[in-house]
Structure 1
Amino acid sequence: MIISLNELKFYKNFDELAMDVLDMAKEFVPERLIYLTTFTEKQQIILKLSEMNASIQIDEGMVIEINETVCNRVDFDTNTPLVFEDMSKETSLDDLRKAVVGANINSYLGVPIILSNGKPFGTLCAVHTDASEFSEKSIKMLQRIANLFANYLNLERLAYRDSLTGLYNRQFLYKYFEEFSTTGGALFFLDLDGFKKINDLYGHETGDLVLREVALRLDHFIQHHKGFAVRLGGDEFIVNLVDVSSKEEISKLADYVLSRLSAWDTQLKAFNLSVSIGIVLYPPNENNTLKLLLKNADNALYRAKANGKNNYQYF
């Protein structure tokens, strides 16, 4: 579950610490442009630069398709830095030659930044227009700096993530609506049907496995739609969707979520494990109060339960 840009905006002193990381790295590779990146499933985003460099075509906020970046070659599985001291001679980069030449980069060091859950956050990179060597000491020091930054990210992440499922938690949900509620969207309030029987008969360990699987399915869903998923607590979840264009579209998405959370193996199917959903829409450019939205969504959820479960109702 990837850290989103919205989440980073809530981290204390993120901009200041990111610049400190770049300044520290600059001490060990002083002639290079240093920058921090983060990844989504499909894109790389340039977060911070050590300084502006007119010779190198990289800017803060730049978004690059992940398959068109050198950082995509970094080995996150083994946490190994990627080093190219003369990229003009690297035949392995032929498919990226146009991008590398366009950025005017000929030497590159990319150090992986990996979160405690094993997921890649991004890279700490050092680049130059000319071919140049990277000493073993400088590589190791940038690795240590990247690890310190990852530790900071992990500590901040704990404040906004549910420890069991890795989804966002209630604190993130409230923080988001304090900052971004004017975007408008649709709030799904989900409650699992039949979950109590699983806990009673198989124990909380099995119940926790089910909750993690639900979280994985919701996270996969949200990666293909603009928004985020939250575990409120117990077997209650929130899906917040933004930029949804019509009630017809929202209904199709709700049908999909219902189908994904009712397809289980034989053992769980025996307990009719499914989900009921209460949906509330909220308009853009208005002061949408989360407390009222949750109350209205919960009202719709109650009617979905009363209507036989495994369905959704609008407020």
Structure 2
Amino acid sequence: MKITQTHAIAFFSVIFMLMASISLLAVQKFQYSTTTVLASRTAEVIATTVNQARVSYSADIAQISLHPDITVETLYHGKPLSIPNPATFAIELGEAVSNRDAGIIIHTYSKYPFKNRALTGGPQDKFQQDALAILSTINPVFERIEELGGTPVLRHSEAILMEKSCVDCHNYHPNSPKKDWKIGDIRGAIDVTVPLEGGNDDLAAIVRYSYIIFMAFSVISLLGMFITLKRTHQQSKELDKKVKIRTNILNEMAYTDSLTLIANRRAYEEFCDNIINKKCANSLPLAIIIYDLDHFKQINDQYGHDMGDECLIATVEAVSAILPADNNFHARIGGEEFAIILKHVSNEQLEQTVQRILESVRQVKVLKQPDIKVTCSIGATLATELNETTIKSIVKTADDALYEAKSLGRDQWVSKPYDIHHK
């Protein structure tokens, strides 16, 4: 059978159209999958950040609420020295972070909203109702793709668990609709809506470019197809790399104290847990130093909180400068309280380090207020062996030593030996 040029053109035209159709479907599916994964990761990072901000705020508010002039309440707007409670803080933070023009919506809701939020605080649609029914401590995340205003979106919901400070408040608050909360109960959920269309111009441009290259080379040979697919794969890796970099930045923010830029309490607790999980094989002898600025409240009262913050920053810089370069962990664990963990140290090295901390803090100068005098009290302990499942007992020993240093007149340090057999 004689194959004419027309037949050959027709044959290759059919093959081209078939391959173009197949490649179009494949690229569209790839774009959809990539967009969905990107939306899911974005929603997860937003939900985790907002939830962690709420947890951190709830932990810090316990100290702030002890101030005789400060009140913590829901309707705090327009009231001097009144700040929001953790639930209101989380709700307003979600509203502030939301970008409705871009389609990103954050909503915090509960099965048991307070009376003043009865209309807006409960589940607002079928997704939120389903999320509350499905979320549990075993399955703390629920996702589904839906349409919102004719636009496909990814709905991501994460459980909000009751912390100790939350239980104490909700079980005794007169307007609380439920008064038998326990730590770990699911208080409600945070719903993050991320659009699957729009805002992805770079991704769409990359996919279109890949599709054009693929079609052009598919009519020539399999080699052209291979080059196009390789290029697409490389661009996908670049997108993944950008997402990972942004995720790492947000994760780092969650573990860093925003004022002093050292580790925060969450990072400190996880670091301590890791020491136990590794059974201290590469940590002993292990020293824990806890230091607290003396009469810091007086500095805040006399010079203002801005000067107090400058004082904290200057103190952290001074202490960090004298710590061993590769053998320390420095964290802010309270308002003016800090912890240092040193590995592989002797009693002599511990004493030298503590003495240098005391002297460095005494020499701290705040440029805008040079008359501020800073001192600190220090509690320390050294553990040479460990056979427990928690590090809290070591920390308790250092805390006791800190309390004794304060009771002896402050601006000094006390070291207590750690005994693994002492209960």
Q: Given the two structures, how large is their TM-score scaled by the length of structure 2?
A: 0.38
Q: Say whether residues 1:158 and 2:250 are aligned partners.
A: no
Distance 2:343 2:271 in 1: 12
The offset of 1:233, in angstroms, is 1.3
Distance 1:313 1:288, change over 3 A: farther
Equivalence for 2:267:
172
Pick from 272, 279, 291 the counterpart of residue 380 of structure 2.
279
Aligned mates of 2:388, 2:252 — CA distance in 1: 27
Q: Structure 1 residue 247 and structure 2 residue 310: aligned?
A: no
- The CA distance in 1 between the partners of 2:250 and 2:243, in whole Å, is 11
Please, which runs of 5 or more residues in structure 1 have no aligned partner? 1-138
Deviation at 1:287, TM superposition (A): 2.9
Q: SS where residue 357 of structure 2 aligns?
A: helix
Matched, 1:228 2:329: yes
**For residue 195 of structure 1, what is the amino acid of its counterpart?**
F
Do the aligned partners of residues 193 and 268 (structure 1) sit closer, same or farther apart at CA in structure 2, a change above 3 Å counting? farther
Q: 1:189 aligns with which of 261, 283, 290?
A: 290
- C-alpha deviation, 1:166, in angstroms: 1.5
Please state if 1:314 is matched with 2:415: yes
CA contact (8 A) 1:167 1:219 kept: no
> Given the superposition, is the C-alpha separation of residues 180 and 142 from structure 1 closer, same or farther in structure 2, using an over 3 Å criterion?
same
Q: How many Å separate the matches in 2 of 1:222 and 1:147? A: 34
SS in structure 1 of the partner of residue 379 of structure 2 = strand
CA displacement, residues 132-177 of structure 1 (integer Å, 9 cap, x when unaligned): xxxxxxx999987654333111111123221221211222222122
In the alignment, residue 244 of structure 2 is paired with which amino acid? Answer: F
Determine which of 290, 303, 318 is the counterpart of 1:202.
303
Is the aligned partner of 1:297 residue 2:392? Answer: no
SS of alignment partner, residue 162 of structure 1: coil
2: CA distance, partners of 1:201 / 1:276: 21
Q: Is the 8 A contact 1:174 1:290 kept in 2?
A: no
Contact 1:275 1:309 in 2 (8 A): yes
Task: Mark the CA change 1:271 to 1:212 in structure 2 (over 3 Å): closer, same or farther.
Answer: closer
Letter in 1 for 2:348: E
Q: Which whole-Å CA distance do the structure 2 matches of 1:314 and 1:280 have between them?
A: 5
Provide the rounded CA distance (Å) in 2 between the counterparts of 1:269 and 1:300. Answer: 31
d(CA) in 1 for partners of 2:242, 2:357: 37
- State the distance in 1 between where 2:412 and 2:394 align: 19
Contact 1:167–1:231 (CA<8 Å) still a contact in 2?
yes
Please tell me whether the aligned partners of residues 225 and 241 of structure 1 are also in contact (alpha carbons under 8 angstroms): no
Query: How many angstroms apart in 2 are the aligned matches of 1:231 and 1:140?
Result: 41
Aligned-pair distance for 1:278? 0.2
How far does the alpha carbon of each residue in 1:281-302 deviate from its partner, in whole angstroms, 9 at most, with x for none?
1224533633222222111111
1:49-64 counterparts in 2 under 5 A? none
Query: What code does the residue aligned with 2:407 have?
Result: A
Structure with higher helix content? 2
> Is 2:288–2:341's contact at 8 Å kept on the other side of the alignment?
yes
CA–CA separation in structure 2 for the residues paired with 1:258 and 1:160: 27
Amino acid at match of 1:226: N
In structure 2, distance between residues paired with 1:310 and 1:230: 20
- Deviations along 1:34-73, one digit per CA (max 9) or x if unpaired, are xxxxxxxxxxxxxxxxxxxxxxxxxxxxxxxxxxxxxxxx
State the shift of 1:215 in Å: 2.1
Counterpart of 2:301 in structure 1: which amino acid? D
Contact 2:323 2:353 in 1 (8 A): no
Deviation (angstroms), 1:227: 1.7
Question: CA shift at 1:272, angstroms?
Answer: 3.4
Cα distance, 1:141–1:279 mapped onto 2, change above 3 Å: same
Higher RCO, 1 vs 2 (CA within 8 Å, ≥6 residues apart): 1
Aligned length: 179
What is the TM-score of this pair, normalised by structure 1? 0.50
Q: Which amino acid aligns with 1:229?
A: H
| Per-residue deviation, residues 64-97 of structure 1 (Å, max 9, x unmatched) | xxxxxxxxxxxxxxxxxxxxxxxxxxxxxxxxxx
- Whether 1:257 and 2:357 are equivalent positions in the alignment is yes
Alpha-carbon offset, residue 217 of structure 1: 2.5
Partner SS state of residue 309, structure 1: coil
In structure 2, the residue matched to 1:94 is none
Q: What amino acid maps onto 2:252 in structure 1?
A: R
Question: Given the superposition, is the C-alpha separation of residues 140 and 256 from structure 1 closer, same or farther in structure 2, using an over 3 Å criterion?
Answer: farther
Structure with bigger strand share is: 1
Unaligned runs of 5+ in 2: 1-233, 417-423
